[in-house]
A and B are shown apart, each in its own frame.
Chain A
């Protein structure tokens, strides 16, 4: 894992002392959802004050998760990369609106999710790609799939991908990305009730397909 300093050249982040190796971005990412990362808080303050170089820390810290969320929605590595890039730029452009003291994560996750949903809508509208609820798994580029090494994961992946679009996205955010209902509602601009509804429908379909894996006797 690269530190923010190495990825952004470390030229204008000196004021934050980001080159302290003890604070690698990945280590900081393991902290809790509330903004307990002092480096992150200071980076946000610095970026708000006009220090663009400090943004590197935030990019470094959240890139992997942001790409994973984007990939889960668009199922294409190139698009996921573009979405992640756009999300970070959009967040930077609107950093003045970001409330200091709050963690950056939920905000950037929300941005990338919305960009992903917009891309899907755009694809549908202009028919750049065949997307139907009946066979969503067919649209993915198999070369872009992560290396799913075991059969269990592969089956779960196929089952999630067979779901209708919003159920698929909500299920993926809940099951794969490990977000809670409230977080998913904020990210997708759906109500919490709608998120639960999508998840409940997805659960029923997944249970049919994966009953032999996890049983199915706990309605």
Chain B
């Protein structure tokens, strides 16, 4: 049991050892906390806006980059690749029916 008379008497006497900050210190602390809290509050709004705008800006930047790359690639391509029509018109297909061979274009 530690809550004995000795400790309780000591507790009564030790109470006066509490540190008493002077008015200057308490005022300084209050002022600094107020300044920091104001910064936090302002920073909070900025962070909120940043939270919303950052993904939008990133998305727009990604779209812009994709568009620029796409357009650049199209412009650099010398000729369009031949399509199905071009292939089909330039080649003939031989079809064998009953021993006769027909050429189909």
Contacts and interface: CB of A to CB of B under 8 A. Distances in A.
Interface of A: 2, 7-9, 50, 52, 55-56, 59-60, 63-64, 67-68, 71-72, 77, 80-81, 84-85, 88-89, 92-93, 146, 148, 152-153, 156-157, 160, 174-178, 196, 199-200, 203, 206-207, 210, 213-216, 218-219
Given A55-B37, A175-B14, A146 B29 contact: no
Majority DSSP secondary structure for residues of A touching B: helix
A81 B21 CA distance: 9
A153 B17 contact: yes
Contact of B15 (A8, A84, A178, A199): A178
B34 A92 contact: no
B21 A177 contact: no
A151 B10 CA distance: 14
Given A214-B13, A216-B6, 10 more contacts: A2-B30, A7-B27, A50-B41, A52-B38, A52-B41, A68-B18, A68-B20, A88-B33, A89-B33, A175-B10
Nearest to B15: A178
Interface string B38-70: 101100000000000000000000000000000
Contacts of A213: 9-10, 13
Nearest to B21: A67
Interface of B: 2, 4-7, 9-11, 13-21, 23, 25-34, 36-38, 40-41
A97 B29 CA distance: 23
Nearest to B5: A218
Contact of B33 (A55, A175, A206): A55
A148 to B, nearest CB: 7
Contacts of A8: 30, 34
Nearest to B9: A214
A176 B31 CA distance: 28
A68 B41 CA distance: 28
Contact of A67 (B5, B7, B26, B38): B26
Nearest to B31: A7
29 contacts: A2-B27, A55-B33, A56-B34, A59-B34, A60-B30, A63-B26, A67-B26, A68-B19, A81-B21, A81-B28, A85-B32, A85-B36, A88-B29, A89-B33, A89-B36, A89-B37, A92-B36, A92-B37, A146-B17, A153-B16, A156-B10, A156-B14, A156-B17, A175-B10, A175-B11, A175-B14, A175-B15, A176-B17, A214-B5
B29 to A, nearest CB: 5
Nearest to A91: B33
Contacts of B13: 152-153, 156, 213-214
Contacts of A218: 4-6
